[in-house]
Structure 1
Amino acid sequence: MSTQDTEGQGQEQNMQERSDSPIPSTSPIPSTQPPPQGSLLDAAISQLLKEHPSQGSRTYDSDHREHRDINLIHQVSIECQSGDTLIIVNFPQGYKNCKRETWTSKRFHANSENLLATGSKVFAQLLSPEGQARIRKRIGEPLPQKYVLDLTPSVEGDELAAQLMELSLPLGVRDWWMSKERLGISKYFVSGHDDHCPAHNEVPIDCKKTDEYIDHDMGREVLPKIDLDHIILSESRAILDYCPIRHRANIIRLVLAIQGHDLVLNSAPRAYTLTGIARILDCTNAIRDSVCTWLMVEPNTDFVDINTEAAFTMAWKLELSNVTRAAFRVLVVERALDTLAAEPRVDAARYTIFGRPRVDLSDDLQTVVQYATLKLVDRVQQILAKLKSDQFYDLLGISEYQKFVQTGNLIRSALSANTSHDTEQSPPEELCELSTRYTALLNRLLEYNGRIVCEAMDSSPGNDLQRDYDRDRRCYVPATRWNPTALIYKNFTDAQHLLTPTFWEELTSIPYAYTRETYPDHFLGDTIDAFNAKLNNNIRYLAPTSGDLFGIRVYDNFYFDLPKFRDQLHTAIERLMFIWTKPDSEAPLTRSRHLLLALSDEEFQYLPLWAGGFDDGTGGVFEPTVPDADLGPIGPGPAYRTGETVTTDVSSICQSDKTPSQASTVTLTAGRSLAAVPSNAVPTTINDGVSMGGTNTMSTSSIVMVDDVNELDDDTDDAFEFDDSDEISDEAWSQVEEP
């Protein structure tokens, strides 16, 4: 076997090992060579093997990669001297690097072709003749290079303020280095030091513990290994939320990555900062794959669970669909739990209801989460109302119950047919007894419905699940703020329980839990037997035309089959549970198992198109739907009234607070508009869109009639004869009220 073959096998084996292997280096500039022949999978594997360094190569050692990165940034002026573009990055005075040397301004060369290949509008503007004239005038010295780019960040003004907001690190990002020891994440992903540090060797890799910490040495699988209260933050790890050195050093890294140099993402602050800089310079595609790899490599995916706002922000800037949707699930469900609470929590702005630390989102991202939260809250309240209503069995599509209801209709018909109104003769006594048994069983079934829903809400997670949930939450909740998951569940409202897996698992298990009082045979058995016994003596009233009045065939048409009812109930609830508890998660959210994350398209619609949402940038998804006119225009001209108003999909819990001046408008011919003011009187259509084997049931509130057509007098008949031409007269427009 050749040496090349040996290295290839080592590469394949190394790809399967995630613990201490570095992130593969990805080239930011797309290759112009055609892909290799064969399947797409072969092409993908071939590309990964090409990019992944071999074990025999010196560059395979991650320590060497990190040292190479440090040296390249410090010596970039010497290392990069070829290219038609001079890059200038000036550093502030008085800062030392990790070699205890003063940071100096950097001038190095790059190729303008690579910069423009990113598609960056910023680079295109800076490299334009107008942009070059301004840069050279500002520098004030003759430079021989074809292009000159001064990428030094602003030191004052609005531009600096905007960049500070873009690049300021949340606390969870700054402290993510602790996850190496606490959560078992490779140091090559999280332990990298800040660019402004006292000395590289003085920055600790492991956490410094308090005297209360006890090392139980219980193995890697027991996480977290250290409680947050038992960690003493080292001074060299207490980095600032914004650092001018970090900002400038990562500008250099970004330009080098665009030129094809290895991009080392060895810490959360570096990944977060590079994302912000790439967004500012409009070249996010240059680092998209590398940051996506950093976020999605396990077990570093815990970053999405624990620092969800930061992950959501990074993914949004880089247009990473999978990470965006996964983080969005967590944020929306957490906000929905707050909205559905009985009363507001004092610390809701700082911590989620399960104790996860929160950070603020930008206004645009906060809006997306808030709208989706209202949709989810509306959906939860609708399904809760259905679970508690007397339509419970119909909504689940349980045919045995529907057959029972039909039998009840026949009993009522038989009672009416056997009652003589002329002689005031009462119906037969045995038929009356059957009616009584039917009513008793119907009430018992409705009682059973409410009983099992309440029992599921009062349940707590089993010992194993509670241990798992508590362990996951220990990853971000210190002992001083600890509250067991079961206790948090216990204080939930009915609506909040629907967003926990425990409720659905308990509700699904009840039909087969034969040791419980709510086992259908225990709770309903005697009442069903009494009802079925009365059927034998009353078949002739329910099926008078049958030739075999007492045959098994006729009896089965009315007999309440308890085993069949039990199976149908379990299957229907299990199907509904699957919809609410089995999301096709885009990332392994292993620390959020105590939450139900199965969002629907109704919630995802507020995401951009690239993330699988419906927001095309026009903001249309955030506007309430204007109700259609069922009967079309009634009045003459553009100032017409609507007929019957049909229901809309506007949430009943999200009433519009818009004033007429804020109303949406409907554009007419000639560019003029009419105000369309959303009305809070429009009823909500309740339909969860879940087919349970029966027909979907739609319930609505009372419909408000607007200017009923029947109330119009004969003088308005000519109102239906209006001019439908494109021209609208000034006289007609004079009748239109100002919005």
Structure 2
Amino acid sequence: MAYFQEQETDEDASYDPNIEEDENISKLDVLRFEGADTIVFIDPPSYVPNRSLQPQSEASIPHYVHSHTLLDTKSPYFTKLFDPRRQARMIKRSEFLGNLPDGIKYVINLTPPSTDDEAVAFTTELSCPLGIRTWTRELSRLDLPVDCVGGEDEGIETEGGSKKSALPSEYSDSRHRTGIVHILQALGGVNPCLDTPCKLWTFFALAKVFGIATIGHIKIHILTWLYDGTNACFIELHPEITYRIARGIECDYLCQDSFTVLVGEEALLRLANAGKPPRLQWPEVTFHGRQREPLDDEDRQRIEYASQSLVDRILEEFIQLTGSQMDWLLQLPSTMMISRHIDDCAEHCSLASDLLSSLKLYVRGHIVANMTRSVDTRSSRLNHYIDPCNYPEHDYTNSYKNMRYVERIISKTFWRTVRGEGYSDCLRKPDEKFRDMTIADLGGHLHLFQSENEAKLSYVSLEDILRAVNQFNNHVDFDSPKFVQREWGGGDIFIEKRGGSLPDLDSDIETDETPEETATESSMASVFDPIVFLQQVRTSLGDLTERMAKGCRQGAHFKLTDTITCLTNNEFRYLPLWAGGDDDGSGGVFTDQGIPNLETGGFSMPGPAIHTGSTAPSTTSYSNIAPSEGQSTVQCASHKATGSQWADVVSLVSSEGHAIEDESYGPTPDEKREDTEDTFIDMDTSADDFEDYFDTDSEDNDTVIVGTPSQSDPIEETSELLEHMSLEMEAGSK
């Protein structure tokens, strides 16, 4: 049997009011585990008056724990405490004067050091980042779980004398001592009360100092806190802190989730600064206005390399989608029959070639029309998330409108609009000002776009498409049905299919066909159905855009992040092996990518495993994209195979020849930002909930009864539980 006992407050007349500010120091739960063989002292601070250190003071009452819960962690810090020589000194110096209670074999002292380098190290590690200290302020706005942020923190300090803006202090001696008790509770299989962000950070930081942050009994409580309902928003709003926690506890999916946010934000900044003079400092604010928090140079460079890989990949995706080739469109079943007809004809069929050219112009125009629309950022409809002071601010709503067209490719808002409306057969048309432009004009400062000066943006109407369809179908089969455009109530436009031979149909759409252009029907050809074609286009675009808008795994849900979160192995390869990356510490994952020169827009330093400087944060770790860097430098991964998501939507074009229209280069007017249409983006997302895996039975308000520890290793059991959680999440993503 084990229990925690909270002693009654000492009401001795000699109580010193000078220690009133530190009254929480003495409010530690006292641990009593049945069959305990180890006494743990956590003494109060040296500045507490001696008269308060009497046995009746709870701060001086030792904790009774099992030695194996500490030794089984394999922690060098704990192992050293059980050294025989040290034990002999501790027992001699203890209040028991060598006469240990029955069953007690060891005495250890976990009192926080107060002098020397060890005290500085503890204070540095346990000092809470600003994002941790301010997180409780989001309780109402984000509807955070009370179990995570509803507690009281020690060491409250005010800003400008305002009680409303009170913040917990960076470091609190009493919070330090409470954190030690929380560690002992977790190792004993009992839930620690991590009901404030500062307690969570102190628990994590102490685990790092003790060398036990990666064991199951510690990780489970940290992960439960971070993924508890809406508290998971912490990953998006403070990804640097989350990333540091993930690296400390070596959790692969938490590391990937936070890394995803950081890489997407950096990718957008790189695109926004492309073609501009290199910036030698790491930007302190993201494009959307989030204050970036400290990271060391090693992790910043991982983000730089991964963001460049992401930019290359997404730009290539867009060029494949809208460039002059548009192979994905030629791979649709409805368009492949046109290609088969061309292959089967003895002479070049101009009608088929013109139809393919018109279809590519029509679909490309729809994609670009959505790219150039001025809409609100996708999650702006969640008004309770928008705050006048904290990120995301009101400017976040208009950030998409302030992007250059090419920058919008990294935004989820763009990809959510590409699929098009399902209530009309008519695709969206680009603005008139783009009539004489090409894809190259949208991003001429990037290498990949410079080669797309034949991908025209000339507008093709649905009526033009149907005219070309009817001409081709009549050429293939004289008795083919005719397709006409009809407008129904509400202004929606639909395609109507009419059967019968062409001469007997209404003359809604005139044809310029001559008898010389009519040929015998090919045995492999069939009529082209524009209704089916548009359905296939929407399906293909829908599959691609869903992948672009989702996270890197099924369990990752991002409510506020508007940058792309669909990272692949191309980007994750820069993470350590334990996080699913390819970095084994040798530096090979960075050296095989080439190292662009900073003066031409390259990275600030070679890579984490190459440079030999300090890992302290640097202010000169940033770079831009030069025009010559538009081509991807991603090569084969040494740990996992990599590939583009485009392979999930369409296969590469076959070696068979297909008709490709001749799209000539047109004039290049200056890009002008104008609001062509205001649109409301509707997005539904959900948070990921985790259950609490430790059940604690309470008796009264002062004592918690814990069952007798089993013979099996509790730490190993919890590790297996965490591994099971991870496997379930991976299985869900597959």
The residue that corresponds to 1:583 in the other structure is 551
Of structures 1 and 2, the larger Rg is shown by: 1
Q: Check the 8 A contact 2:366/2:428 in 1, yes or no.
A: no
Specify which of 313, 320, 324 is matched with residue 244 of structure 2. 313
Q: What aligned pairs does 1:1-16 form with structure 2 within 5 A after superposition?
A: none
The residue that corresponds to 1:169 in the other structure is 128
Question: Deviation at 1:271?
Answer: 0.5
Specify which of 381, 394, 399 is matched with residue 468 of structure 1. 381
* 1:208-240 C-alpha deviation (Å, 9 max, x unpaired): 9xxxxxxxxxxxxxxxxxxxxxx9952793222
Question: Deviation at 1:170?
Answer: 1.8
Specify which of 568, 571, 593 is matched with residue 536 of structure 2. 568
Query: Which letter does structure 1 place at the counterpart of 2:317?
Result: I
Work out whether 1:477 is the aligned partner of 2:418: no
* 1:668-701 C-alpha deviation (Å, 9 max, x unpaired): xxxxxxxxxxxx99976796253367642599xx
Is the partner of 2:40 in helix, strand or coil?
Answer: strand
Q: Check the 8 A contact 1:448/1:523 in 2, yes or no.
A: no
Measure the CA separation in 1 of the matches of 2:558 and 2:654: 37
* 1:561-615 C-alpha deviation (Å, 9 max, x unpaired): 4233222222221222232223364656353263432222222333444444444
Work out whether 1:397 is the aligned partner of 2:397: no
Q: Residues 81 and 150 (structure 1 numbering): CA distance in 2 closer, same or farther, change over 3 Å?
A: farther
Question: Deviation at 1:190?
Answer: 0.7
The residue that corresponds to 1:151 in the other structure is 110
The residue that corresponds to 2:74 in the other structure is 119
Q: Check the 8 A contact 2:236/2:561 in 1, yes or no.
A: no
Measure the CA separation in 2 of the matches of 1:234 and 1:322: 38
Q: Check the 8 A contact 1:355/1:476 in 2, yes or no.
A: no
Q: Check the 8 A contact 1:126/1:149 in 2, yes or no.
A: yes
Work out whether 1:499 is the aligned partner of 2:410: yes
Measure the CA separation in 1 of the matches of 2:244 and 2:255: 8
The residue that corresponds to 1:644 in the other structure is none
* 1:457-499 C-alpha deviation (Å, 9 max, x unpaired): 1235579x554255434397369x53142x2112224443233
Question: Deviation at 1:314?
Answer: 2.2
Q: Residues 624 and 509 (structure 1 numbering): CA distance in 2 closer, same or farther, change over 3 Å?
A: same
Measure the CA separation in 1 of the matches of 2:233 and 2:553: 14
Work out whether 1:282 is the aligned partner of 2:211: yes
Q: Check the 8 A contact 1:338/1:348 in 2, yes or no.
A: no
Identity of aligned residues (%): 25
Question: Deviation at 1:276?
Answer: 0.7
The residue that corresponds to 2:202 in the other structure is 273
Specify which of 364, 370, 375 is matched with residue 450 of structure 1. 364
Query: Which letter does structure 1 place at the counterpart of 2:229?
Result: E
The residue that corresponds to 1:369 in the other structure is 303
The residue that corresponds to 1:326 in the other structure is 257
The residue that corresponds to 2:152 in the other structure is 193
Is the partner of 1:414 in helix, strand or coil?
Answer: coil
The residue that corresponds to 1:688 in the other structure is 644
Q: Check the 8 A contact 1:305/1:590 in 2, yes or no.
A: yes
Q: Give structure 1 stretches of 5+ with no counterpart.
A: 1-26, 30-50, 52-57, 59-69, 209-230, 416-433, 540-548, 627-651, 665-679, 700-739
The residue that corresponds to 1:606 in the other structure is 574
Measure the CA separation in 2 of the matches of 1:476 and 1:587: 30
Measure the CA separation in 1 of the matches of 2:654 and 2:84: 64
Question: Deviation at 1:137?
Answer: 10
Q: Residues 261 and 575 (structure 1 numbering): CA distance in 2 closer, same or farther, change over 3 Å?
A: closer
* 1:80-105 C-alpha deviation (Å, 9 max, x unpaired): 89844343434445579xx9x99966
Q: What aligned pairs does 1:507-522 form with structure 2 within 5 A after superposition?
A: 507-509=418-420, 513-514=424-425, 518=429, 521-522=462-463
Higher relative contact order (CA 8 A, sep 6+): 2
Q: Residues 598 and 192 (structure 1 numbering): CA distance in 2 closer, same or farther, change over 3 Å?
A: same
Q: TM-score with structure 2 length normalisation?
A: 0.60
RMSD of aligned residue pairs (Cα, Å): 4.9
Q: Residues 152 and 333 (structure 1 numbering): CA distance in 2 closer, same or farther, change over 3 Å?
A: same
* 1:40-69 C-alpha deviation (Å, 9 max, x unpaired): xxxxxxxxxxx9xxxxxx9xxxxxxxxxxx
Measure the CA separation in 2 of the matches of 1:564 and 1:168: 62
Question: Deviation at 1:532?
Answer: 4.2
Measure the CA separation in 1 of the matches of 2:541 and 2:416: 10
Q: Check the 8 A contact 1:400/1:565 in 2, yes or no.
A: yes
Measure the CA separation in 1 of the matches of 2:290 and 2:266: 12
Measure the CA separation in 2 of the matches of 1:262 and 1:590: 28
Is the partner of 1:514 in helix, strand or coil?
Answer: coil
Measure the CA separation in 2 of the matches of 1:366 and 1:147: 45
Aligned residues: 527
Query: Which letter does structure 1 place at the counterpart of 2:372?
Result: D
Q: TM-score with structure 1 length normalisation?
A: 0.59
Measure the CA separation in 2 of the matches of 1:254 and 1:152: 13
Query: Which letter does structure 1 place at the counterpart of 2:194?
Result: L
Question: Deviation at 1:268?
Answer: 0.6
Q: Check the 8 A contact 2:419/2:542 in 1, yes or no.
A: yes
Is the partner of 1:690 in helix, strand or coil?
Answer: helix
Question: Deviation at 1:383?
Answer: 0.9
Specify which of 459, 462, 467 is matched with residue 373 of structure 2. 459
Q: Residues 251 and 693 (structure 1 numbering): CA distance in 2 closer, same or farther, change over 3 Å?
A: closer
Query: Which letter does structure 2 place at the counterpart of 1:310?
Result: I
Measure the CA separation in 1 of the matches of 2:593 and 2:569: 17
Measure the CA separation in 2 of the matches of 1:131 and 1:366: 42
Q: Check the 8 A contact 2:25/2:177 in 1, yes or no.
A: no
The residue that corresponds to 1:383 in the other structure is 317
Is the partner of 1:234 in helix, strand or coil?
Answer: strand
Measure the CA separation in 2 of the matches of 1:663 and 1:237: 41
Higher helix share: 1
Q: Residues 473 and 158 (structure 1 numbering): CA distance in 2 closer, same or farther, change over 3 Å?
A: farther
Measure the CA separation in 2 of the matches of 1:689 and 1:78: 53
Measure the CA separation in 1 of the matches of 2:211 and 2:468: 71
Measure the CA separation in 1 of the matches of 2:41 and 2:258: 37
Query: Which letter does structure 1 place at the counterpart of 2:468?
Result: T
Q: Check the 8 A contact 2:141/2:385 in 1, yes or no.
A: no
The residue that corresponds to 1:490 in the other structure is 401
Q: Residues 462 and 360 (structure 1 numbering): CA distance in 2 closer, same or farther, change over 3 Å?
A: closer
Is the partner of 1:149 in helix, strand or coil?
Answer: strand
The residue that corresponds to 2:469 in the other structure is 528
Q: Check the 8 A contact 1:169/1:241 in 2, yes or no.
A: yes
Is the partner of 1:483 in helix, strand or coil?
Answer: helix
Measure the CA separation in 1 of the matches of 2:550 and 2:645: 17
